[in-house]
Structure 1
């Protein structure tokens, strides 16, 4: 597909802007992400994500862990709530789709005692850990169709990379 140079420069600039935006990040995969700068308990974080038309993130592959944490450095490397919970359940499931956990990074520790899961920085990467859902931590949301049994409204602004921009960037 042939795209005029001025238009491709605009889309590359726009993509680079979103890739370096500290709060809402557009990852190369087209995942719309919100990483909080403030701390809430797991339930407040879930509610905040839902107000944005999102849900606490599903982190179900190693690539997703890297994509969500690659821009976290220094003081940003902290515990981060995501959408995996065993609260009032017999096992860990994602809050967006009720699927069982089938991926955990190496050295993850998920204790099945009604806890909520969070990303825990372990140099140089992150692992999964579990803890008291009422402790305040930063959190990460992603755009989903469903969250905690409710259909999510579409956000006003879309965070996906259009097909023609993917072609420009060879994504």
Structure 2
């Protein structure tokens, strides 16, 4: 969890600099972990609207599959964030130029680029391979 606030793109760049990605928040347990932090801030996460108004996770480019109750993804905005609604966090979309805190996480890829921070099968650790990397080409 960042302490500073950035635009969505600045947040993405900050995560990539650390060889991470904006967190995808693709499962219920990810939301539960943030809820346990006793934090009430909004956080940019790795969800963005692409062509045809599809919201996708930027680490995998898969369509968003998990939406907590009361989540709202509006096609008027491109960037995803989580916000507190009562006791739980929900997913919403907002203007990418707003400044918010952000969540970074390990990922094999981030916005189409290798992060070198996480192995795809589920083993955390540094990945080293010659370029081009045959594991992820």
TM-score, normalising length: structure 1:
0.65
Residue 26 of structure 2 corresponds to residue 38 of structure 1:
no
SS of residue paired to 1:102? coil
The equivalent position to 2:113 in structure 1, one of 146, 150, 155, is 150
Residue 13 of structure 2 corresponds to residue 47 of structure 1:
yes
Which residue in 1 is equivalent to 2:55? Answer: 92
1:134/1:89 CA distance change after superposition, 3 Å? farther
Which residue in 2 is equivalent to 1:133? Answer: 96
TM-score, normalising length: structure 2:
0.81
Any conservation in 2 of the 1:94–1:100 contact (CA below 8 Å)? yes
1:88/1:41 CA distance change after superposition, 3 Å? farther
SS of residue paired to 1:60? coil
Runs of 4 or more consecutive aligned structure 1 residues displaced over 6 Å after TM superposition: none
Larger Rg, first or second structure (1 or 2): 1
* Structure 1: distance between partners of 2:99 and 2:4: 9
Residue 80 of structure 2 corresponds to residue 117 of structure 1:
yes
TM-fit CA distance, 1:116: 0.7
Q: Deviations over 1:88-137 (max 9, x none)?
A: 66310011110000110000110023421110111111111111001000
Give aligned pairs, total: 120
Any conservation in 2 of the 1:146–1:152 contact (CA below 8 Å)? yes
* Structure 1: distance between partners of 2:97 and 2:50: 11
The equivalent position to 1:71 in structure 2, one of 37, 42, 65, is 37
Any conservation in 1 of the 2:50–2:56 contact (CA below 8 Å)? no
* Structure 2: distance between partners of 1:71 and 1:80: 13
* Structure 2: distance between partners of 1:53 and 1:69: 25
Root-mean-square deviation (Å): 1.8
